[in-house]
Structure 1
Amino acid sequence: MKTVLITGCSSGFGLETARLFLDRGWQVVATMRQPNDDVLPCSERLRVLALDVTDAASIRACLDAAGPIDALVNNAGIGLLGALEGIPVERMRELFETNTFGTMAMAQAVLPQMRERRAGVIVNVTSSVTLKALPLLAVYTASKAAVNAFTEVLALELAPFGVRASLVLPGRAPTTRFGENARSRMDGSIPEAYAELAGRVFAEWAQQPADQVTQAQDVAEAVWRAATDPQCPMRLAAGADALALMG
């Protein structure tokens, strides 16, 4: 029986992905900063472990407890809305620490065991905003675009060892807590000069039909394919809006 470790399982994409892998017979190590049995009750094939991807000691402790991993899904991430002019540099660094460096650190930590077994897959969840620029998302887009480029190079490095690296690019998912969390981190990051632009952007998002945005199940299915189908493209879009951008 294969084992997948998924980061960021407290809600949204990570939670739905954990449930899907469980339903399809895998052992699942679901991780989150603060484990909550109410979200994912532990069972015979499910373990819920604490993990902060920005903390090296937390990563080591989590992987020691998890044991051998066949697939790593780097889903943990934070959002940030705002005009670049109004975003403090500390916020930018915080975003990159989780979205970019956290992803790299997790991949680096599992690679020795995968390379030695000459088997395994790393699936990095980024975003469709890297395919089409959107206002108020410059820093977030940069953090995810860096992971796209990193993953493409990583795939080349790992190919001789039989280990794969893949990307899943979700579209906008208003039904998850991600957007709500991103808004809560704005802290005045939209100066008055950008208020009109922000109003237009938010209005457009609010008017987007439900069948043209991404659902958590779309992302879970894309991650499943990336993890289990060696013949699938290295980049997989997830959700109607992301698929439209991929053409």
Structure 2
Amino acid sequence: MTTALITGCSSGYGLQTARHFHAQGWTVIATMRRPREDILPKSSRLRVLPLDVTRADSIAACLAAAGPIDALVNNAGIGVVGAFEATPMSHIRKVFETNTFGTMAMTQAVIPQFRQRQAGVIVNVTSSVTLTPMPLAAAYTASKMAIEGFTGSLAHELSAFSVRAKLVEPGYAPTTRFAENTDMRVEDLIPAAYAAFAAPIFEAFAAPALVTRESDVAEAVWRAVNDTSGQLRFPAGADAVALAQASLR
């Protein structure tokens, strides 16, 4: 039996990934800032623990309670949609604290146990915006681009200890609450000067040709965790796969 610790399990990709791994017979440590056990199956193989990836004390307490793990899935993240010009630097820093530094802090905290055991896998969930940057998502894209480079470099240095690092790149999932976990409204980040530019973009988001399902991401994370080849990137969802293929042309 193997154990996965998954961050950001209160909704969306993280919640579905926790359910998927549990269904496959794994022990799951599902973490979230405000723990909710009612959204996950009742099982001796599933535990819900509090975790704020932006706080070192929270990370230490969570890992101590979790015990040894075999896989870390860094899924916790926050989104921001809007014109970069109108996005306060304080908010940009908040995005990086969770998406970038939070992922790095969790990774750094688990590496010692993986290195000592000469086994383990770290999967970092980024976004298809790293394949094709999208407008009105500059800060979010930057935070996820940083993790792409970080994971690629990390994969090389951890391979010396038989520890794997992987990337899962989800596309656009209309069912996820992309920006609801921030304190900035989209309307506040679209100045009048950008209104005409933004309108068709939001129309396209409302009726996308291809989308990503939460189950697509869970399955991609599952493949990444179990992959023992040198493959680094795992696009998740029809739109992400199409963007990945287009980037190879």
**How high is the TM-score relative to the length of structure 2?**
0.95
Where do 1:63-82 residues align within 5 Å?
Answer: 63-82=63-82
CA offsets per residue over residues 40-89 of structure 1, 9 Å max, x none? 25420000000000000000000000000100000000000111110000
Corresponding residue for residue 105 of structure 2: 105
**Distance (Å, rounded) in 1 between the aligned partners of 2:64 and 2:146:** 28
**Distance (Å, rounded) in 1 between the aligned partners of 2:233 and 2:140:** 19
Tell me the secondary structure at the aligned position of residue 237 of structure 1: strand
**Distance (Å, rounded) in 1 between the aligned partners of 2:82 and 2:120:** 37
* Contact 1:218 1:239 survives alignment (8 Å): yes
**Distance (Å, rounded) in 2 between the aligned partners of 1:93 and 1:42:** 37
CA offsets per residue over residues 73-128 of structure 1, 9 Å max, x none? 00000000111110000000000000000000000000000000000000000000
Tell me the secondary structure at the aligned position of residue 142 of structure 1: helix
Higher alpha-carbon deviation: 195-204 or 23-32: 195-204
Unmatched 5+ stretches in structure 2: none
Corresponding residue for residue 8 of structure 1: 8
Is residue 2:227 matched to residue 1:229? yes
Relative to structure 1, the CA distance from residue 222 to residue 232 in structure 2 (aligned partners, 3 Å threshold; closer, same or farther) is farther
Corresponding residue for residue 151 of structure 1: 151
Corresponding residue for residue 160 of structure 2: 160
* Contact 2:78 2:179 survives alignment (8 Å): no
Corresponding residue for residue 122 of structure 1: 122
Corresponding residue for residue 23 of structure 1: 23
Query: Percent sequence identity over matched residues?
Result: 63
Tell me the secondary structure at the aligned position of residue 28 of structure 1: strand
Higher alpha-carbon deviation: 229-238 or 16-25: 229-238
**How high is the TM-score relative to the length of structure 1?**
0.96
Relative to structure 1, the CA distance from residue 171 to residue 224 in structure 2 (aligned partners, 3 Å threshold; closer, same or farther) is same
Tell me the secondary structure at the aligned position of residue 124 of structure 2: strand
Corresponding residue for residue 237 of structure 2: 239
Q: CA deviation at 1:233?
A: 1.7
Tell me the secondary structure at the aligned position of residue 5 of structure 1: strand
Q: CA deviation at 1:177?
A: 1.9
Q: CA deviation at 1:167?
A: 0.1
Relative to structure 1, the CA distance from residue 232 to residue 213 in structure 2 (aligned partners, 3 Å threshold; closer, same or farther) is farther
Relative to structure 1, the CA distance from residue 24 to residue 232 in structure 2 (aligned partners, 3 Å threshold; closer, same or farther) is farther
